[in-house]
Structure formats: structure tokens, C-alpha cells
Amino acid sequence: MKLELLNKTRLRLAALFKRRKLDRDLEDEVAFHLAMRAEKDRAAGTDAKAAGYAAHRQFGNVASVKERSREMWTFSSLEILWQDIRYGARMLRKSPGFTVVATLTLALGIGANAAIFSMVDWLTLRPLPIREPQQMTFLAFSRPAEDFNDNFSYPEFTEIRKQTTGVFSDEAAMVLNGGLDGLTVDGKTQPLICGFVSGDFFPMLGIKPYLGRFLLPSEGAAPGADPVVVLSYRYWKSRFSGDRTIIGKKAAINGHPVTIVGVGPPEFLGLTPIIEMQAYLPLGMAVVDTGVSRSFLTDLKSRTLLIFARLQPGTSVTQAGPKLAVVGQNVVQQFSRTEEHGALFAKPLRPPGIITGQNPIPRVSALFLSLAGLVLFLACLNVANLLLVRASARQREMAVRAAMGAGRGRLLRQLLTESILLALLGCGVGIVVGLNLTRAMNSLKFQTQWPLVIDFRFDWRVLAYAFGVTLITGIFVGAVPALRASRENLREILHEGARTSTGARQRLRGVLVASQVGGSLALLIIAGLFIRSLGSVQKAELGFNPQHVLNVSMDPREIGYSDQQGLAFYKELLRRVRALPGVQSASLSSAVPLGEFVGGDDLEIPGYKTSTGNPQPHAYCSGTTSGNLKTMGICLLRGRDLSDADQENAPRVALINEAMAQKFWPGQDPLGKQFTRASDPKHPVEIVGIVNNTRNIQLYGSFEEYFYFPFVQDYSPSATLQLRTEAPPETMIREVLGAVQSLAPTMPVFGVQTMTQALHGFNGLLFFEIGAVLAGALGFLGLTLAMIGVYGVMSYAVSQRTREIGVRMALGAQPNAVLAMIARQGGFIIAAGLVAGLFAAFAVARMVGDFFVGVTSTDSITYVGVSLLLSAVAVLAGYLPARRATRVDPMVALRYE
């Protein structure tokens, strides 16, 4: 048996290459036989011609013999496939209209899927470009109330590292100061995001620098020591346009001299998602005016470190668990981490990087993949229907082929090959579509000062996904018509010719239409909910007036200004700007509402008891100068505004918002009450005024507790100058920048935008807009496909019934009655689809209800509105062909066919 198989394979392989020779051999063998036989007969006295005939007669059917032999040594399935492909390609070429429409329809579906998947790929699948990324983790303490806390102090880091050498092969720490630092090269300063990392960071990652070197393990252990910096590849490309002589160049970080020693590899964007880490400095350099405590290397309470750890080879996070829990307990006791009740644990570092808090990415991914899948489903239905129509047209062809001896399986294969071929065409075009979509997404400009990277790529995973989706599409699209076509009663078709479609086919078409209506309804409802969410945040009561406000952000620390210099600079800048004509008021703020810089502090409030298990009282805050309320249009409800008299050494004062008043002093008068900030426990803060609630951190949910303190009493070098202008704020930009330049020519200004533009940032509208645009685009695509589909099916169904309609009208039926008849059937199908769609939408919306803001997942306006819209579209798409049918001249209809 084995031998046979081997022989077969050998012969068949030979056959593939030596097809000609084998054919000739077969030919020769048969010819030899015939010649010998004829010769023998001739020798016996028959004449030559008769002998030849006799030989043939005795031999039998030469062609059939050859065919049987040939079949034996061919890879018949492969060859049949090739035959099918060639035949299919011919059929597609023969009807270019159909091919183009079907290809484009599928291309839209497959392209949308590939594009969405490239997003998902980047956010969840593409491994971080480091050595053995599956071993990388980061450490955190679990918390009962929140998700976890991943901030550690340096002494804690060294202690943990000492106690976990058996668990991890490498451990490294990184300081993320949460702000931008200034990199000065050749007298020009630009803000960038820096990571301050311990010396073992790069060895742990196991990556190679593109140029120069990375930080050495010995670097960074002492404050301010080892002034070197490594740039990211992208930053180096964009700022220094790939200048290789940059290595060894003198530069300055926040005014402190450093040397550029290396450039990172191109694909490495850092371990944080979405935001690119643009430069790396030794951990000890974090003391150079980055806002990190100067004593953070020894301070037990300065918890600004993230700890990354690489598991020992062959161990898993679960195996490391018990050991870490013990170490965690030691650390909690040794360093009195009071707020933690949970255990120390290692969290796998998964793409796209370290995420603190709830990770919404898997669910967002699943949702958008499903929506894209739904679009493809609709596209498939359309094409399936087209194929179904073609299948009726090809009934005769199929019947003839079947009559010639083609088995049902063979016909099915032929049809499936054709539909997969079609899907592959769609895949090809779809990938081009998808590539362009991702390119468009990659080049989106966002209202942000941060180095936001969107890195969608068409890597092999995306291509594999697109290909897989294509195969499923091809089989799905082809299976329905194929199964049906090959099941037809041959004799009947051959006998009668393709005339009227059978009842079963009508029913199938009804199911197609209903699915189409249902699918697009579900899609549109989800899109509708996204759009309504965006609408609700757009209409959100801000509590301040964003019109006519200009924001200009800067950070004097980036060019090495001390706090005194910075304060003096800001004071003088305010004075000059306030004197500009057209400026109604000007003020400084350490954090703009809904901006990217968010300040907050834990509070100690006399008389306010925290219920057990809840975290300490906390409020968001910003430092502002006088005039802020006027600039932002915030109302002082009671008490007094901050004034220029609230100097650095004056008693600490603050304005609080209503939410804070209600939360911490319910039923009391907060004016004159005091609280202390965890960051400055020595100076109690007195509440001098209460202002209305404003949207500061996010555009939805309840208002956060918020307070404003005098800018000078807790200086923040990074600040935004805000102006309320008479004219449109854009017109003031030049004068304001001029004022900055005249005061400090090298001062980098990194955010110049109007307040209305700023609302589109990260914490503002950005994600709502992305959600609405993506879902809306998919919904629109779905609606278009459904419209075309319903129209197509109804047109065809009506055209199939032209004869019947003609008969009815010849017998006296009124056009309206005919119309009503068609409408009844169409209406029933559409209604069935609507009901199914409503249920589907409801199910999906419930699963992702928390993505929607300002609307519930059962928002009746969306459900009813979209249903009405879709039924209107469906009815119209069905009405047009129906009306055409009633215009048919009965005589024409009767002669039809």
C-alpha cells in the first residue's frame, strides 16, 4: 500500500513535469499495439485497410483508454482545480459588469475589515519589538477600590529587586514625570517626552541601538550623574532629519548640559501605548528640573517609578505570584504603604504597552471588528444574491454539465471556485482600499501637544486575516447559490428552459433581504448610539465659555529657568499681554480644562471621615492667577476671587467648585474652612470662594471635585497663558508670540490653540469623535449596501414575475392592487428583518453600553429613528421596481420568455 502511494506520487510528480513525454509514450504504446495487430491480420491475408479497421475494432475506444490511463497518473484534484479556476476566470471575464460590481462590493467589505483589523493588530496583537516580549511584565499592587497601583519609590524598587532575583532575570525602573521636558540643541529648544530609566533598562529589553549606544548599566545610580541622552528613531528623523553626526553632540535637557550618545531602533516606540517615548536619560537625571523630587533616589514617599521585570525563562506570571505576594507583604511593612491592602503582582506587558486602570481595548476591538464583520456580511449578502441571480441564468449550463456526467460535487466545486475567485479579486482590491484607509488614519492630525503615534500597518497578521476573511466570504457567498443550483431537477430545467423561479428560491431571496435589513439596522443603531454620544458630549454644559479664548502653553524650565526666573518671566509676560489692545483679560493656568495636563492631590480634611475601604479624599486642581475666572467665564458664586495679593508667602487660599463643597462639606458653609494637601502638609489651605462646576477632566459623568489655588503658591513651570480676546482669538497669535519672544527669545512655545480647538483633545472630544466617525462610516457603508441589495433583489423578484403580473393585469387587476400585492410581500420581509435587527442591536449595545455617554444602550430615539430611516429606504428601494412592474404592458409581459 505504501509502495503504491510512493509510486503514485513519483509518477504523478513526474507527470506534472513530463506531461508531454508520458502522453507521447501512451500514444506510442497504443500505436504499437494497433500496428502489430494490423500486421498480423495482414500477414493472414486481410488487406491493409480492413486490417487497420479490425485492429481498431478489437482495441475498442482508444480515447477512453488513454483517458483512463492518463487519469491514473495525474494529480487529478489539482488539475481539476486549475481547470475550474480557468473556467471561472473565463466566466468572470465574460460578464465584466457583474464582476466589477461584485468585486467592488466585496472590496469595500474586506477593505474595511482589514483596516479595522490593522488597528486591532496594533493595539492587541503585534508584539512589542523587544526580545521575547511574552516574558516582560510590570509590577503593581492590587487595590480593592481601583484597579491597581503601579507607582513605586526608588528604595522600594531596590528592595523588590533584591528580593525577587529568583523570579525575574532582569528588573528596571522608569520615571515618567507626566510632562514634557525641553531638549536644546544648537540654541533651539523643543519639548519632548523623556523616560528616565535605570541602567538595566535596555539590556532587559534586549534591543540594539540604531546609532551610537544605549545607556550603560552603570549609569543613572546617582542624582544628576551621567548626563547622556538617547533619542528615539522617529524623533531623530523628524528633528534632525537623520543626521548621523548627532552622536556626541552637546545638548541640554531643561537647561542642563547633556551629550547625545545614541538613537534607538526604528520600530521601538517605547513601552507606553499611543504616546511615543522620544528620549531616554539615566534615572538619576530625573532630578534635573523635571518636577521629580530632587531626593527621589532616597525618598521613601516619592513614588514616581514604574518597575518593569522580565520573568526567568520558563516561568509564568502565575508561577511568580506566590513569591511576589510574600515580597509585597515585606515591602508594605517595611515602607508602610498604608493605602494598599492588596498584593504585589506582575502584570504581563502586552501590546501596545503599559496600561494603567481599566483596559478598554479588547472590548473596543471586539466591537469594531464585529461592526466591520457586519459590513462584510452585508456585502456578502449582496454578492450572494447576485450569484443567485446568475445561478438562475446558468441553470441550463449546469443542467447540461450535469447531463454530460458531471457529479453534484463537481458542479459545487466549480461554483465555489468561482465565488472564491471573486472573493480573492475583492481581497486584492480590498487590501488596496484598506491600505489607503490606514494611511489616512495614520496621518490624522490630533489636537494635542503629545507625540501621539498611530502605527497601523499591514503586516502578515493583517494580510492573513484579510485572506482568511476572504476565504470565508468566498465560501459563504458561493455556498448558497451553489447548493441550490446543483440541487435543481435537471430534466425539468432542460425540458422547460429557465423560466420561472421556484418557490424555494423566492423564499431564499426573502431571507437574504431580511438579513440585509436586519444587519444594516443593527449596524446603524450602534453607529447612531456613537453619534448620539458625541452629540451629548458636544452639548455638555462646560461651565466655562470656550469662545474667544486663546491658549499658549510653555515651560520655562525647558530652557533651564529656575523657579524664581520662571515666576518673574510669567509675571512680566502677563503684564505685557494684558496691555495688548483687544485683550479683555489674561491669566495663567497650570492646567487647562479638558487639557492633557491634569493636576490632582490627596487631601486631609478636618472633620471628614473616609469610610473604610475607600481611598483618601482626592480632588483635581490647578494653579491660576487672578483674572482666570474672567478669562474662562466662570462664575464666582460666593466669597472672593484669587487676587494678586495672594503671594507666595501669604496664607494658602483656594477656590473650590460646588461639587467639592457638596462632597466634603455637605450641609455646611465651606467658606473659611481649611484642608491640607498631601503634597504640602505644612501649609493648611483656606477656602475663600466657591465657583460653579466646570468640565475639567472629562465631558461626561458627574462633576469632579476641583479647586483652584494661586499660581505663585505652588509654582508649576509648565503653564498655559490664556487670553479672552475681543477679536477672533486666532488673530492675536502673532502679537502674543511676539511678546513671549521679546521677553525670552529661546522660550519654546508648544501649544498654540484656541480653547474651542483644545476641546477636541484627548480628554475632550477626541475619542468620541473617533468612535462616531468609525462607527458612522461603517454604518453608512452598511446602509448603502443594504439599499443596493434590497433594490437589486426586489428588481429581480419583480422581473421574474413579470409574466404573472401581466396575466393578472390582463385579467383586470388594477395597478394599485398589484402594487399592494408586491408591497405586502416586501413589507413582510422588511418587517421581519427590522425585528431581527432590533434584537441584534439591543444585544450588542448592551454589551458595550458603557461606551455610550448621555444615551442609554436602549435609547428609544436612536432605535425608532434608525428603524424609520431604514424602512423608508427599504420601502423606496422596493417600491421603484414594483411600480415599474405595474407599468408593464400586459401583452409584452405575456410574450415575455
Partner 1 sequence: MKEKKENPGDLLQGTLDLLILKALARETMHGYGVAEWIHQRSEDVLRVEEGALYPALHRLELRGLLSSEWGTSENNRRAKYYALTAAGRKELAAEAEYWRRMSGAVARILQTA
CA torsion 806-812-817-822 (nearest 10°) is -20
Buried-exposed string 235-274: b where 16+ CB fall within 10 A, e elsewhere: bbeebbeeeeebbeeebbbbbbebebbbbbbeebbbbbbb
| # residues near partner 1 by CB under 8 A | 31
Q: Which residues pair with 884 in a beta bridge?
A: none
Work out how close the CB of 8 gets to partner 1 at its nearest, in angstroms, rounded to a whole number.
Answer: 6
Pick the stretch among 34-42, 246-254, 255-263, 810-818 that binds partner 1 (CB under 8 A). 34-42
Closest separation between CB of residue 46 and partner 1, Å?
A: 17
Q: Segment near partner 1 (CB under 8 A), from 29-37, 135-143, 502-510, 765-773?
A: 29-37
Q: Does 4 bind partner 1 (CB under 8 A)?
A: yes
Q: Is 3 in the site for partner 1 (CB under 8 A)?
A: yes
> Which of 45, 60, 187, 812 touches partner 1 by CB under 8 A?
60
Indicate the residue among 5 and 645 with the shorter CB distance to partner 1.
5
Which of residues 72 and 876 has its CB atom nearest to partner 1 in the complex? 72
Cα separation, 721 vs 713, whole angstroms:
17
Separation CA 224–CA 285 (nearest Å): 5
Residues composing the chain:
897
Binding piece for partner 1, criterion CB under 8 A, among 60-68, 391-399, 470-478, 796-804: 60-68
The least CB distance from residue 836 to partner 1, in Å, is 42
37 interacts with partner 1 by CB under 8 A: yes
Q: Between residues 56 and 363, which has the closer beta carbon with respect to partner 1?
A: 56
407 binds partner 1 (CB under 8 A): no
Q: What amino acid occupies position 403? A: A
Contact between 36 and partner 1 by CB under 8 A: the answer reads yes
Least gap, CB of 208 to partner 1 (angstroms): 53
Nearest distance from C-beta of residue 63 to partner 1, angstroms: 10
Q: Which is nearer to partner 1, 41 or 558 (CB)?
A: 41
Q: Give the residue with the Cβ less far from partner 1, 50 or 326.
A: 50
Q: Which is nearer to partner 1, 20 or 887 (CB)?
A: 20
Decide: 582 and 726 in contact? Cβ < 8 Å. Answer: yes
Q: Which of residues 62-121 bind partner 1 (CB under 8 A)?
A: 62, 64-65, 68-69, 71-73, 76-77
Beta strands 228-231 and 256-263 are parallel
DSSP state of 152: B
Selected range binding partner 1 among 54-62, 89-97, 245-253, 432-440, rule: CB under 8 A: 54-62
For position 742 contacting partner 1 by CB under 8 A, the verdict is no
29 binds partner 1 (CB under 8 A): yes
DSSP for 416-471, please give it.
HHHHHHHHHHHHHHHHHHHHHHHHHHHT---S-SS-B-------HHHHHHHHHHHH
Query: Which of 48/861 has CB closer to partner 1?
Result: 48
What residues have CB less than 8 Å from 182, skipping those under 6 apart?
189, 190, 191, 192, 252, 253, 254, 255, 555, 557, 558, 559, 748
Q: Is 814 in the site for partner 1 (CB under 8 A)?
A: no
**Interaction of residue 7 with partner 1, rule CB under 8 A:** yes
Neighbours of 519 (CB within 10 A): 27
Closer CB to partner 1, 63 or 645, in the complex: 63
C-alpha cell at 360: 478598554
Stretch that binds partner 1, among 5-13, 263-271, 512-520, 849-857 (CB under 8 A): 5-13
State yes or no: residue 330 binds partner 1 (CB under 8 A).
Answer: no
- The least distance separating partner 1 from the CB of residue 471, rounded to whole angstroms, comes to 22
Distance CA 220, CA 285 (A): 7
| C-alpha dist (Å) from residue 665 to 601, 659, 687 | 18, 10, 11
Q: Distance (Å, rounded) from C-alpha 398 to C-alpha 602? A: 78
Closest to partner 1 by CB, 322 vs 407, is 407
The answer to the question of residue 820 lying near partner 1 (CB under 8 A) is: no
27 lies in the site for partner 1, by CB under 8 A? no
Between 73 and 168, name the residue whose CB sits nearer to partner 1.
Answer: 73
- Our finding on whether 28 is near partner 1 (CB under 8 A) is yes
Specify which residues 585 forms β-bridges with.
Answer: 724
Q: What whole-number distance in Å separates Cα of residue 268 and Cα of residue 371?
A: 31
Candidates 61-69, 157-165, 226-234, 602-610: pick the segment binding partner 1 (CB under 8 A).
Answer: 61-69
- Could you give phi then psi for residue 223, rounded to 5 degrees? -60, 130
With H, G, I as helix, E, B as strand and everything else as coil, classify residue 748. Answer: coil
Give 552-614 as a DSSP string.
Answer: EEE-GGGGT--HHHHHHHHHHHHHHHHTSTTEEEEEEESS-TTSS---EEEEE-TT-PPPTTS
Choosing from 61, 165, 741, 816, the residue that interacts with partner 1 (CB under 8 A) is 61
Task: Choose, by CB under 8 A, the member of 11, 568, 773, 836 that binds partner 1.
Answer: 11
DSSP H helices, 302-394, are 317-334, 361-393
- CA 337 to the chain's CA centroid: 37
**39: contact with partner 1 by CB under 8 A:** yes
Query: For 500, which DSSP code?
Result: S
Of 7-15, 202-210, 453-461, 658-666: span binding partner 1 (CB under 8 A)? 7-15
> 543, 694 in Cβ contact below 8 A?
yes
Which of 25, 146, 644, 726 is close enough to bind partner 1 by CB under 8 A?
Answer: 25
Q: Does 8 bind partner 1 (CB under 8 A)?
A: yes
Nearest residue (CB) to partner 1, 60 versus 672: 60
Residues that bind partner 1 (CB under 8 A): 3-4, 6-8, 11, 25-26, 28-30, 32-33, 35-37, 39, 58-62, 64-65, 68-69, 71-73, 76-77
